Amino acid sequence: MTADMPDGPRPLLRLLASMLLVVAPMAGAAPRSAEMPALSGPGPQAIGTDYRELTAGDRRIGVRVWFPAAKPASTDAAAPKAVYRHRRALPGQQVLDVEENGLALSEARPLAGMRFPLVLMSHGYGGWSEHMSRLGETLASRGYVVASVDHRDQPFTDARSFALSFGAVLIHRARDQQRVLTALLERSLFDPAVTAQIEPDAIGLLGFSMGGYGTLVTAGVALDRDAPAYAQFPAPARALLPDPDPALAKRIKAVVALAPWGAQPGAMAWNDAALAGLRAPLLLIDGDRDDVVDFERGVKRLFGATTGTERHLLVYRGAAHNIAGNPVPLPADADFQTIEFLTDPVWRKDRMEAINEHFISAFLDLHLKGDADKRRYLDVPTPIADDGQWPSAFGQQWGDTRAGDAQPGYWRGFQRRWARGLELHHKAAGR
């Protein structure tokens, strides 16, 4: 029941309506809730997955790949699916063992004879390669090869070891990304049947937090070695900071940076001139209450300073930093530090995950596949979703209808009312 109720003292009717809203969707619920926007959830392709390690000097980098796979024969209906496991253990915090069932088939054959864009995925500080596995699987099911880097951030036990660990992240994030990209393009990592699927000139980068910091460097934005972020670095450490690889950067055709670290006043990892040199289209996503990377002075600065390319900024009103990552099931006795790392104070993680999938799919399809039709999901009629218009007569039932051509005043792909709390801003190159 979704009819609008007229203003007035009808508490009993409203109570009954709210009870129906809770109970009705329970029967025959889909794997992804029917409330989610149009481009979220799995696409038509079967998915395969594999995990390999790359050795680079004294570093061992893990890489999880998801790829479009041949559909299993009817006799393979019980083909085993991937199970993703991770142990999160930090000093002074409760140990969390994560186990999630994936959609990918663990013994699938890559779909032969076709090429797909490559998306390199990079997690945040303290994350792991399957932290965004549901997003990775969704993109693979929609016709992408997705390689997620396991950076294996250095553990710490005290303030000194934390400083060393975080300093190592500043040095290695982009370096790891560049090494993995090079190995994938050289077909020296994974089965050749997997790497043969990669379209080498249609590459996207996707990074969360410190992963977003790395993606900007990998996409061609040079670091400012005199920035506040590196003030405590001794000269030998500054010499290890990564530079963009122009040959790789030239292949990058789209960048998705979720709550990227590095542009806030306390870091200023790039100057405005370097940011203006970014050429790959950019999608920024963050919560407007993100005090980790400073949404107002950091992420909005990135949006304004990257004048050399087209960019979008998707904003979750009221959300903090953790706007990416799977909605990990938490034990009832989870400590606050774990809850704070994996959830958001305001938004449901499964809701944010689906909205991210919707806009990331539209953005990557537009810029990596040349699907101009997907621009309709990005060209919203109003940047503040709450201002969207979708007239409705008294008692009119819309069900799970999503906005389309018949609802030009509302955000395309969302149900009536269900884009609330979002903003989507756009700047063309040169603005």
Give the model's pLDDT for residue 5: 33
The tally of CA atoms less than 13 A away on the side-chain side of residue 226 is 1
Pairwise CA distance, residues 129 & 151, whole Å: 8
Do the domain assignments include residue 391? no
Q: Tell me, what CATH number does 66's domain have?
A: 3.40.50.1820
In a domain, 329, yes or no: yes
The whole-number pLDDT of residue 79 equals: 78
pLDDT in tens, 75-102: 566 778 999 999 988 888 889 899 999 9
Predicted confidence (pLDDT) per residue in 293-324, tens digit: 999 999 999 999 999 999 999 999 999 999 99
What's the CA gap between 39 and 377, in Å, rounded?
Answer: 9
In a domain, 396, yes or no: no
Give the pLDDT confidence score for residue 383 in this predicted structure.
98
Among 120, 121, 111, residue whose Cα is nearest residue 143: 111
DSSP 425: E
Query: 145 and 198 in contact (C-beta within 8 Å)?
Result: yes
Provide the pLDDT for residue 244.
Answer: 98
| 238-259 confidence digits (pLDDT tens) | 999 999 999 999 999 999 999 9
- Is 417 within the bounds of a domain? no
Within a domain: 210? yes
In the sheet with 81-88, reading across from the earlier edge strand, the strands are 81-88, 96-105, 46-56, 59-69, 145-150, 116-122, 198-208, 252-258, 282-287, 311-316, 422-427
Identify whether 164 is part of a domain.
Answer: yes
Rounded CA gap, 241 and 167, in Å? 10
Question: What total number of domains does the chain contain?
Answer: 1
Domain that holds residue 311: 49-378
- Quote the tokens at residue 349: 């993680």
pLDDT for the residue 8: 37
Structural domain includes residue 30:
no
pLDDT, tens only, 321-346 = 999 999 988 888 999 999 999 999 99
Contact 103, 81 (CB under 8 A): yes
- Which band of pLDDT confidence, cut at 50, 70 and 90, is reported for residue 6? very low
Q: Determine the pLDDT at residue 77.
A: 60
Query: What's the rounded Cα separation, in Å, for the pair 306 and 134?
Result: 29
- Does residue 14 have a pLDDT over 60? no
Per-residue pLDDT, 280: 98
pLDDT digits (tens, 9 = 90+) for 102-122: 999 988 999 999 999 999 999
Whether 283 is covered by a domain: the verdict is yes
